[in-house]
Amino acid sequence: MRTLDIDTIKALDKSRMLELLLGLDKQCAEAKYIGLNVDLTGFSADGVKNIVFSGLGGSAIGADLIRSYTADEIDVPIIVNRDYTVPNFVGRDTVLFTSSYSGNTEETLSAYKMAREKKVRMIAISSGGKLEESAKKDGVRFIKIPSGIPPRCALGYSFIPPLLALGKLGFIPNKEREIDEAIEVLRSLKKELGPEASDSKANIAADIALALKSRLPFIYGANAHLDVAVTRMRGELAENSKHLASTHVFPEMNHNEIVGWDFPAELMKEFVVIFLRDSGDHKRVAMRIDITRDILKKKGIKTVELHSRGVGLLSRIMSLVFTGDMISFYLAIINGIDPSPVDRITYLKNELAKEPL
């Protein structure tokens, strides 16, 4: 008998995290509407040599998604900056997106201030807070997104409007069709991965969550395009499941970490490796993953493979992201905890507030 019955889920999920996760398709549709209505009239992209996204946590993962998804088609580099400062190269030939869901993330506000001093072309994204106040006061283009949910649950809002903005500015082709396809894939997946199917062998999210109980997961995937899904799953396991995980990407993992799978020998039986697989993986990377999987299996390491769904690249990435989110939710229930609270983050912010920046 699974520990994922509806009654247990309702009892533990006090802040309705499940509803937020299952609503990602609707959020993406709303985010598309927001993005299509962003007014960038008069915003010049002439001479831009780099694009920088400055944000942290849930507000930065959308930027990671844009960077990874557009890597094969955009002509200028995209950098995701997670710090109080902006890189020294940031200047007049930069377009900088400052993203903070709450609008009050101190690192992002600090980076915003530094960028303003450098006279950077800037677009701000938040649900309100000090970032909105500063953007309106300074005449910075501002994208308003809905408030009231945990930042990690706002992936559609942090990703789709700036993606469409990049299209409007001519950096990439218009992505409406790809977004629509991804929404359809998410709609299909949530029927398979929802709690009504949690007792079904077809629910791979529930199955993987059960495999992770009392074990340390290692999440591996291709650096090209899937790095964001790898990072996202680690973050969701931490915030939702309160469960540590380790991550790495191919082919780099084969040049260092593969050798480390000997010690601590007494803990190896407590590890689980999740391989994220995609039909678009470079054929040599796919071979590397197969060989690595076989090496670990021979050592008695439990391995699981999670394959992407959909036709287009965006759909395939989002399918892995959504499945990872659902794994993290089910693991929270298995761990017997409410997935929503992030008490240590709240405590840390309160302590920092005693000595303002």
Q: Which residues pair with 142 in a beta bridge?
A: 124
Q: Considering just the CA atoms, what is the radius of gyration of the chain in Å?
A: 20
User: By three-state DSSP, how is residue 94 classified?
Assistant: strand
Task: Report strand pairing: 246-250 vs 271-277.
Answer: unpaired
Residue 162: other Cβ atoms inside 10 A: 24
3-state class (DSSP) for residue 278: coil
- Note if 302 is an active site residue: no
Q: What are the two backbone dihedrals, phi and then psi, of residue 97, each rounded to the nearest 5 degrees?
A: -100, 120
DSSP type of residue 33: H
Strand partners, 218: 246, 273
Q: Which of 255, 283, 298, 354 is catalytic?
A: 255
User: Can 176 be counted among the known catalytic residues?
Assistant: no
Catalytic position from the list 107, 178, 236, 239 = 239
CA dihedral sign, ordered 247, 251, 256, 261: positive
Q: How far apart are CA 92 and CA 116, in angstroms?
A: 10
**Residue 255 annotated among the catalytic residues of the structure:** yes
* Residue 120: Cβ within 10 Å count: 21
Query: Among 113, 144, 168, 349, which one carries the catalytic annotation?
Result: 349
Pair 93, 47: CB distance under 8 Å: yes
Annotated catalytic sites, by residue? Answer: 239, 255, 349
